[in-house]
Structure 1
């Protein structure tokens, strides 16, 4: 009994030390990633694409050679991403080029608000919509010059993904040779768990986002809001950003409805319908579909998205959730890191830790 009682503090100290070392190592990794993000971002996207594509390519092995399956999937993803990028550029240019025609209506809507602000003692300058529109057009024009950088990054990511997929079949044997049978099997089981959970999250989030994007686009078209297709695409893209993406997706079409129509009825309908779609998404679709994909604390998820956004920029906002999922799953499967997983996870992985990690 005494020996048992004497061992507990030592085990607790070891667990605490390992957890602190893991946190320190994580902070150091973040510093390195921050200063090398231009290289790290394509690598991270390639890793996640590999985790998504490999199971699909294995299923296509029944009809095609593995290399042909990989080539078909890569070409399909590249084509979709390229078309989506050019569509987004054209849509943004169309929105910006049409801003001046709304200038009179913007002044009409803003004048009562400005007058009320002046009555309350607030000094607000006049609305110069044409000048503001020109400035916005210049700003967006500068932003669109990054399209070439996006396409370059996409090409780099696709090349890395192709090489990763060509190596992934040999990865199991290499891990077993490097770590031994028991530890190697535990490492492989951890990688499989991470890949499975991330793949479930991405594919589930994708179909939810498509449903939300179609619903927003159809609603805007039915109400008569200009650029309905663009607002649907925007809702689809922003739905991948937790918490803040959904309200950001409905604000622009609602504001445009206020400006575009003389009557307030279309704007009120837009508010009811678009906010209703996002509420249905946030409180019904996401909780039901994502409960088995995430299983992590909402506070940790929001904080991680903010952190990865600061470290990696907009790519970090997109990758924040899958990176968080991968971190929690890894901590669940590494004995020394399970205290961290217990804090970050909303509930444990029902599959449990892999053999050899108990």
Structure 2
């Protein structure tokens, strides 16, 4: 038991580095083809790295501004959301009672406690914001990984005599990864765009944020799309009731099945 506690505590402590590292690896894999392309066009490797980092910083800054604005608006609207969610729970309880379904109201209110649900949603947004604001660590690891990855072919060439097929194997692996990421990036972009358009027309708050999260989490197989659907479905429930929440959930399901 003590060993388990130590392991869990170690994983929690290491999470502050593991998440930025994984994000840096992901960005490096995506940006490696661009760095190689710039290098083949005669751009010095260091200059190419600076260009790529500058582009990422620009995108990163826009995302942080968007998230900061969303957090401010969300915090301002929390009392309204709590009140509306309480009303939705009351309506659901009355509906169940009218149809002869006996439910303990106090238990129902504890499960769907508006304050607790708002804290969970706010904590999720704050966690995302915390990860984005650790930009220095992420970009430092990203630059190191990208420079190392760009130099792998030259290193393999040096040992080519002992392992003739090493470079071909490396190129095949990188080509496969790039093809997968290219396809996944396109599908994720359209997923995020469709989610944004749907939520915008439906009137759910912060559609740009939910579209962006749908785009990012779509890279995570199986559970990514499910995780992306939770906040907007919850907001649709709060804003419009159970019917529109089901419509929102159905829209996420339909988009991810296309």
TM-score, normalized by length of structure 1? 0.54
Q: Which of 35, 39, 51 is the equivalent residue of 1:72?
A: 51
- Does structure 1 conserve the Cα–Cα contact (< 8 Å) formed by 2:20 and 2:131? no
Please state how far the C-alpha of 1:73 moved relative to its aligned partner: 1.0
- Does structure 2 conserve the Cα–Cα contact (< 8 Å) formed by 1:60 and 1:69? yes
SS class of match (2:88) = helix
- 1:47-103 per-residue CA deviation (whole Å, 9 max, x = no partner) reads 443333232123224264332222111111132123213422431342243132244
In 2, distance between residues paired with 1:37 and 1:113? 39
Count of residues paired in the alignment: 243
- Does structure 1 conserve the Cα–Cα contact (< 8 Å) formed by 2:20 and 2:138? yes
Please state how far the C-alpha of 1:168 moved relative to its aligned partner: 4.4
In 1, distance between residues paired with 2:125 and 2:249? 28
Residue 179 of structure 2 corresponds to 200
Superposed, 1:75-90 pairs within 5 Å as 75-90=54-69
Residue 151 of structure 1 corresponds to 133
Q: Which of 214, 217, 224 is the equivalent residue of 2:203?
A: 224
- C-alpha change, 1:206 and 1:112, in structure 2 (3 Å) is same
- Does structure 2 conserve the Cα–Cα contact (< 8 Å) formed by 1:96 and 1:133? no
- C-alpha change, 1:145 and 1:252, in structure 2 (3 Å) is closer
Q: Which of 43, 54, 66 is the equivalent residue of 2:32?
A: 54
Residue 162 of structure 1 corresponds to 143
Residue 108 of structure 1 corresponds to 87
Q: Over aligned residue pairs, what C-alpha RMSD do you find?
A: 3.9
- Does structure 1 conserve the Cα–Cα contact (< 8 Å) formed by 2:217 and 2:224? yes
Larger gyration radius, structure 1 or structure 2: 1
- 1:262-304 per-residue CA deviation (whole Å, 9 max, x = no partner) reads 795xx27x71x7624543433x3xxxxxxxxxxxxxxxxxxxx
In 2, distance between residues paired with 1:37 and 1:274? 31
Please state how far the C-alpha of 1:251 moved relative to its aligned partner: 4.2
In 1, distance between residues paired with 2:252 and 2:63? 23
In 1, distance between residues paired with 2:203 and 2:124? 30
Q: Which of 124, 136, 140 is the equivalent residue of 2:118?
A: 136
Q: Does 1:281 align with 2:250?
A: no
- Does structure 1 conserve the Cα–Cα contact (< 8 Å) formed by 2:214 and 2:229? yes
Superposed, 1:260-271 pairs within 5 Å as 260-261=239-240, 267=244, 271=247
Give unmatched runs, 5+ long, in structure 1.
1-32, 285-358
Residue 181 of structure 1 corresponds to 161
Please state how far the C-alpha of 1:214 moved relative to its aligned partner: 1.5
SS class of match (1:197) = helix
In 2, distance between residues paired with 1:104 and 1:43? 40
- C-alpha change, 1:207 and 1:92, in structure 2 (3 Å) is farther
TM-score, normalized by length of structure 2? 0.72
Residue 320 of structure 1 corresponds to none
